[in-house]
Structures are given as C-alpha cells and as structure tokens.
Amino acid sequence: MSMINYASREINCKLVYYGPGLGGKTTNLEFVYNKVAPGARGKMISLATETERTLFFDFLPVDLGTIRGFKVKFHLYTVPGQVYYNASRKLILKGVDGVVFVADSQLERMEANVEAMQNLYDNMQQHGYDLTRIPFAIQYNKRDLPNASPIAELQAALNPGWPVEDPARQRMLPDPDRPGEFLVWQEDGQWYERAPYFEAIAATGEGVFDTLKSISKAVVKTLG
C-alpha cells in the first residue's frame, strides 16, 4: 500500500491498469504520460516481451493538493495482458492502492474480458486484498468501434455488483459521474455495490483522464 517518503515529503501511491491483452492499458498510460507536464513526471520505463509490454512511470498531479503537508505522487503501472504472464501480473499487483480494469468493448472480446476480471479477483485474493474494499474503477474502451457491446451487457458480465454485508456501508450512494445511477443500492432486501465505470476511446484520449481522476480521488480519500 502507499509508501511515505519523509525526505521528499511525498506519499507514493500505486495504480495498476489491468485487463485483457490489447484492450488499451498501454494506450491509457501513454496518453497520460504525453499530457503530463515533463517537470511533473518521471521517466517512462518499458519492459518488453515478444508480445506484451509492461509500462510504468510516476507523476505528481498538481490539482490534488497536499495531505498533512505531503504531496501525493502516483506510480502508474500496466500488467501484461496475456494469461501466461500471470506471475508478472501478480508481482505488479503487490502493494497496489487502486486498480483500473480496462475492458475491450468489442463483442468478440467479452470472454477475454471475463477471464481477465476473474484473474484479477484471484490474484488480489492471493495477496490478501479484497478488490471490493479498495479503490477500483472500470473503463470500457473502444466505444467508437461498430462491434462494441452495449454498456448494459458489459455491466452485466463485468460489473453486476457485489453484496454489501457491512451495515455501515448499507446506504444509497449516487454515482457522481452518472445522474440517476447508484454505486450502492438496495434490491429485493439485499444491498449491492458496483465499481464506477467510464466509457473511453483511449486512442484519442476520450475518457482517459475521467477514469484517472476518479481512481486518484478514491485513493486520496483512503489516505485522509
């Protein structure tokens, strides 16, 4: 989880972009990197294999202010999309503060999305993390393609909601990004919660910073 550097007065937080291969994780990071002021970002490191790249870099957002006099620095990582790199995926999740799942909206990629989501839950559990209790957001990428699945179908498969057993969390919670929708709601006497979601076209940058701002704010809230 977050690391405090007293010398530089920084709180270091780790965000991991997870999802199926070629879904848009790398495109997200590259877009963010190219838009962040050079003086506020570190060098982008790329670890390449024949078919996949793992990217990471850090940056200091100027709009989040400070927490008890400490600046918040985010370290952004992607994981390899191919399932046979699972050891790398698991390693990158160690110490994570927030997760963004980048789903490929194309109809024929639904099975790969579901497999990657299950793999995320499994790997988090092996680290002793509960994905339903840490900052988590879903991005539905490639919304501009003609074979993109309807959002309702993607939600049903990847973000249907999980039961809320903690009485303190059993209250209606509106989705701040989607008027009329809820992140926590009651249905047939049972309370449910889902992750916030965003539609994106990462290749053009649409939805990229909306996703990043949401997960960043959620992480900062856990530090307060």
Using N-to-C axis directions, what is the helix angle for 86-93 and 110-126, rounded to 10°?
Answer: 50
Separation CA 97–CA 151 (nearest Å):
27
Contact 19, 78 (CB under 8 A): no
Amino acid identity, position 116: A
Which residue's entry shows tokens 């972009």? 17
Domains, the chain, with CATH or none: 3-159+195-223 (3.40.50.300), 161-194 (no CATH)
Contact 135, 219 (CB under 8 A): yes
Position 219 scores a pLDDT of 95
pTM assigned to the model: 0.94
3-state secondary structure of 139: strand
SS3 assignment for 161-178: CEECCCHHHCCCEECCCC
Read off the pLDDT of each residue in 62-72 and give the average, rounded to a whole number.
Answer: 78
Tens-digit pLDDT profile for residues 124-168? 999 999 999 999 999 999 999 999 999 999 999 999 999 999 999
Tens-digit pLDDT profile for residues 22-32? 999 999 999 99
Read off the pLDDT of each residue in 193-222 and give the average, rounded to a whole number.
Answer: 97
